[in-house]
Amino acid sequence: MYNSKITGLGYYVPENVVTNDDLSKMMDTNDEWIQERTGIKERRWIKEGSEDTTAVMGAKASRIAIERAGLTKDDIDFIVFATLSPDYYFPGGGVQLQDMLDMRTVGALDVRNQCSGFIYALSVADQFIKTGMYKNVLVVGAEHHSGGLDKTNRGRSVTVIFGDGAGAAVLSRTEDNTKGILSSHLYSEGKHAKELIVESPSIKHWVPALIAANDENDESYYPYMNGTFVFKHAVVRFSEAIIAGLEKNNLQATDINMLIPHQANLRISQFVQKKFKLTDDQVYNNIMKFGNTTAASVIIALTEAWELGKIKDNDLVVLAAFGSGFTWGSVIMRW
């Protein structure tokens, strides 16, 4: 059986920087309050009138990743696109990406696992390669949150967290079983779905119903999060997913060279870092400047860490995420 290895990485974020002070002009909040609870200082939001969308940002990140892999668009055999904020209710972003990159008629799969989206997408791509079906798979995580956030006092506890952006990785076949993805581990617990959710539009509560209701107090189409509940579950599930990956490969926490956690909240990352007794050099966080970009967060952070030279040949790299669903998971790889 083949193995799979990341051969190219890329990310793109909008130019428009939105600071905590900027948000304080829209709603009753301040820099100190946001940083204390989330660790976020600023985030990127697509500016009104920009060409950027979820799919467009995904395409921009993908071009960088494909070039860095030393490949062309014609070398890509399959697309896995993870997002909770597609340009359309359907079709999904994968087929848009195929068109925007002017690719041949390769398959395109969409993953809707929110904050765990990139972990799930990478796992899917890994299996396609390991079974020999594909040689090069483009894996993308992209989000446009800013267009769907409640930018009033009502939504401030959620709105301050999220940012826009995209990241992409090219996963390629290798016959070296000592390098690449060693294992992936995926989990879900649907009974907690309503603790982090956007309820509408949905098939049972579709747009005409929303319009007919004409209810200014209807919050169903804005994100809802039970923050304390999510935090308590996240720190447990993050740890469980990492431990499962380490045990599967007969590794210890001391073997980790770089942990890239989903950038949900800096406090969660710090809690996990402390639990595994990792140094600041062993964990990479960039939520301070990009916020939570959901399906894009792990791949943006991985790309940035690699660009900064923090990931080296033969390093043990651990990716982990937890989010809405609840879903969570980890990927263990040897660089």
* Positions marked catalytic: 115, 262, 292
Tokens matching residue 42 = 């600023």
Rounded Cα gap, residues 57 and 296, in angstroms: 10
Are the CB atoms for 319 and 119 separated by under 8 Å? yes
Tokens matching residue 226 = 């039970």
Beta strands in 128-266 (DSSP E): 136-143, 165-174, 180-188, 196-197, 224-225, 258-261
Is the sign of the CA dihedral 231, 233, 237, 239 positive or negative? positive
Rounded Cα gap, residues 224 and 213, in angstroms: 20
Q: Which residue, 300, 251, 299, 294, is CA-closest to 276?
A: 251
Rounded Cα gap, residues 132 and 134, in angstroms: 6
